[in-house]
Each structure stands twice: as structure tokens, then as C-alpha cells.
């Protein structure tokens, strides 16, 4: 994958397929420690201890449509290429948390990519799920919580209405300028 936002999209989509109704994505940096951290937490079906042991094995997957699961192994590889790592915690029936760390200034660290496109893709494809996105990068904070947006909309339009999606994308475009 060319950028980290595509890894995030893949992991978040897996969470929705695991029955998660809430997916929380947090991206933060610690410039003093030269660290970028990506955390994705969900309230899906989670994994038992045996599955968790094999979660980064590309030849172990719960999917029935194919025999390989490359999302977590590829994210782990991307993190390790920069001196970082991947940690996964999960409990059956309670959800999963994936945390990837990267040495931020490492030459092999992939760019973050278009998080506005990633988040709006998740929302459009999963309008019945809630997403909480927070980031604090380059001293700028962004927060999008679909639960709050739904409350403000008060049924006037759907969360995946083009006008709502445009507003969310614009929030990210202002940060990228």
C-alpha cells in the first residue's frame, strides 16, 4: 500500500465486517520522540486468544472469500520498516485495538495519505456505523465524530448525504492547505 491511510481503511473495513458499530481512529505524533502512532479500536466481535496469536500470519484469516489476510501483516511490515511495531489487543465479544508505531522521520515511513478520503469512504460505505476520528499532527487537531454529526442533523438528512460528506472532506482540505 502506498500510504498509511489505505492501511487504516483496510483495518477499519475489517472492523465493520466483524460487526463493529463504533470504530475509533486516532493518529498522533510525538516530535520529541520522533514517533507517529496510529490506533484503531472497535467494538466488534473481537478475537479469541488462539486467533490473536496468528493475527499477523497472512495465511490465517476468518474470511471465507479468500485464504489469505494481508491487512495486519502489511501494516506490521510498514511499521517495522521504520523501526516501529504493531500491537494488537482483542477479546472475544468486546472488540479489537490495533496500534501501529512508526519512527516519524524514517526515510521508509510511508506518507499518511488522504485521511479525508479514507474517512468519507468509510462513512459512505457504512452509514449505519459510527466513526470517531481524532488526529493531532503538526500541532493541528482534527476531530470528526459521526455520533455528534447525526445528533446535529436530527434526521434532516443521512450521514452519507453528499452535502455532509463534502463538509467532512472540506474539514480535511483546510488542514492540508
Backbone angles phi, psi at 6, to 5 degrees: -70, -35
Instruction: Assign 174 a pLDDT band (cuts: 50, 70, 90).
Output: low
Instruction: Assign 15 a pLDDT band (cuts: 50, 70, 90).
Output: very high
Q: What is the DSSP letter of 112?
A: -
pLDDT of 175: 52
Cβ atoms of 116 and 168 within 8 Å: the answer is yes
pLDDT of 119: 97
pLDDT of 177: 39
pLDDT of 60: 63
The conformational region for residue 27 under phi > 0 = left, psi -120 to 50 = alpha, else beta, is beta
pLDDT of 158: 93
Question: Judging by DSSP bridges, how do beta strands 140-145 and 35-42 pair with one another?
Answer: unpaired
In this predicted model, what pLDDT tens digit does every residue of 22-71 receive, in sequence order?
Answer: 999 999 999 999 999 999 999 999 998 888 888 887 766 655 554 445 78
pLDDT of 69: 53
pLDDT of 65: 54
113: CATH = 3.30.565.10
pLDDT of 7: 95
Would you give the distance in Å from CA 143 to the centre of its chain? 14
3-state secondary structure at position 143: strand
Which residue range(s) make up the domain with 9? 4-176
Q: Indicate the number of domains in the chain.
A: 1
In this predicted model, what pLDDT tens digit does every residue of 88-138 receive, in sequence order?
Answer: 999 999 999 999 999 999 999 999 999 999 999 999 999 999 999 999 887
Q: Which residue has the cell 465493520?
A: 16
Sign of CA dihedral 110, 116, 119, 120: negative
Amino acid at each position: 500500500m502506498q500510504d498509511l491511510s489505505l492501511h487504516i481503511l483496510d483495518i477499519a473495513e475489517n472492523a465493520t465486517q466483524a460487526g463493529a458499530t463504533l470504530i475509533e481512529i486516532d493518529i498522533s505524533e510525538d516530535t520529541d520522540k520522533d514517533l507517529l502512532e496510529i490506533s484503531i479500536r472497535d467494538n466488534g466481535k473481537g478475537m479469541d486468544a488462539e486467533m490473536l496469536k496468528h493475527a499477523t500470519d497472512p495465511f490465517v484469516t476468518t474470511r471465507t472469500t479468500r485464504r489469505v489476510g494481508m491487512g495486519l501483516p502489511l501494516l506490521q511490515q510498514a511499521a517495522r520498516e521504520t523501526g516501529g511495531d504493531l500491537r494488537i489487543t482483542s477479546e472475544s465479544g468486546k472488540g479489537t485495538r490495533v496500534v501501529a508505531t512508526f519512527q516519524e522521520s524514517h526515510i521508509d515511513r510511508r506518507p499518511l495519505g488522504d485521511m479525508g478520503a479514507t474517512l468519507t469512504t468509510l462513512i459512505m460505505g457504512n452509514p449505519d456505523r459510527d466513526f470517531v476520528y481524532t488526529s493531532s499532527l503538526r500541532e493541528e487537531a482534527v476531530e470528526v465524530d459521526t455520533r455528534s454529526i447525526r445528533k446535529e442533523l436530527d434526521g434532516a438528512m443521512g450521514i452519507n448525504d453528499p452535502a455532509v460528506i463534502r463538509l467532512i472532506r472540506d474539514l480535511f482540505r483546510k488542514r492540508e492547505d
